Structure 1
């Protein structure tokens, strides 16, 4: 996976950029000036291996999982996301065109998503923690009312205010029964700890299997309930940073730029009925 996203070549790219900058800044006739050193050749990749060209996270301003969560919240509130999440890359192309530009075919097991998750909380998780069978039932059992995206301190239970969490995370902690999509977007099941770092092959397999069965692209909290120890915003980040660039799942709401970064070009929103719709 590290090879797929270009980590092996990141340091060499950085060294080349630094050397080029130093050569350009060196005065003509200065000691050591002269013909530029030949550009080192990149090691050949095995045929069929997709090289996901990404700059270093620091250099490229790559979107972290938490940054994606924040950007989605801003978008839901009608604000324009900032930074990499709001930018439009250079050389926009479809996923198929991006892979073709690298001389790579689509993965043989790729499939297309309409950008919508059609499932509910993972059955074993719902049964274990007494979550209602549908979004409407959960919402009504939790007290009903009008769905409001704006969160205030008054909406957060007193016992959660002292956790040191953001308002959004503290509020979500009390939504397991009423709005599990909001809960699982920021929290794992009560008996699980949140995993960090690289995804395992098992987690990748669960992601793909869940996407094949229920679709993928929104309701990330509900989606994450199928992947133990991961939360919704981590699943969203994995989709954008790994799955989309690989071409494993084709999603017409995304395009690729020349750097290998996924750019969202679709429309957000829709399907946000009470209890079901929260962060996408």
Structure 2
């Protein structure tokens, strides 16, 4: 650098030496800037691309435990209802709730098939049950016969109180108008008492003529109808009548023996309580997995 100020150099050489010195300074400044930017000049590596699905390594799924090897909990069964002694380990179990015959039906009839009562109840229940064939063989209760003077059988009651041809379309047995009369006048709508259906209104006219139809929907005159759960006295009276006359049809006549209850109440109680409890065995009924009584007899429609 000292050569720049030498006097023995020509003008050209001095200018040349000066340019070299300036260029050297410029290069030195550029080197300092390059070193300062060095940390920021590292190239960013590209993000790894996702491997194609076909090349991914999939972890094999764990095989499910075979059903036979799974821990199984013993199905709860009531030895008491089956007439057997309790198991030795019953004392270590929590106290079970009171079983019903419907519970037993659930346990024994759980494969979707309808089963007869003999396959759904214990030997003790079957031994005490009342056996019926689905038919009521009696007539009206003696008390009602004495109070109202009913005829002694259904045929006389019908014939001596107007007669006529019975049909479900014409339950009163009234003579039907001719086709010409039907064309001349439109049928009048009957005014029904508040809360009454047409069937109940029709039954109210059959007290003497068709007592079965009357007592299916009505109590004895001036006797109120009980609703809700049946009492123990009513349940026992039901079983007494069933044991004496059978049951399964003619529910109006059956209900004449049970004060404050009508025929359709007796029919419902029979299917919903009496049969599922095993108090009565009716050959016209089978039981499903829920312990419900299903009618399988010759009459597919409800009988009164």
**2:231, 2:248 → 1: CA distance?**
21
Partner of 2:299: 268
| Corresponding position: 1:109 with 2:140 | no
| Corresponding position: 1:136 with 2:144 | no
Give the alignment of 1:104-253 within 5 angstroms: 105-151=124-170, 161-253=192-284
Structure with higher Rg: it is: 2
1:260 deviation in Å?
A: 1.0
- TM-score, length-normalised on structure 1? 0.62
Q: Which runs of 5+ in 2 are unaligned?
A: 1-72, 74-92, 105-110, 175-187
1:119 deviation in Å?
A: 0.6
The answer to whether the 8 Å contact 1:255/1:263 transfers is: yes
The answer to whether the 8 Å contact 1:245/1:262 transfers is: yes
The answer to whether the 8 Å contact 1:152/1:167 transfers is: no
Count of equivalent residues: 194
**1:261, 1:146 → 2: CA distance?**
38
**2:197, 2:162 → 1: CA distance?**
24
Q: Which runs of 5+ in 1 are unaligned?
A: 1-37, 55-88, 270-277
Give the superposed CA RMSD.
3.1
**1:42, 1:245 → 2: CA distance?**
26
> Secondary structure of 2:102's match?
coil
Runs of 4+ in 1 over 4 A off after TM superposition: 151-155, 157-160
- TM-score, length-normalised on structure 2? 0.57
1:106 deviation in Å?
A: 1.8
**1:53, 1:109 → 2: CA distance?**
18
1:251 deviation in Å?
A: 0.7
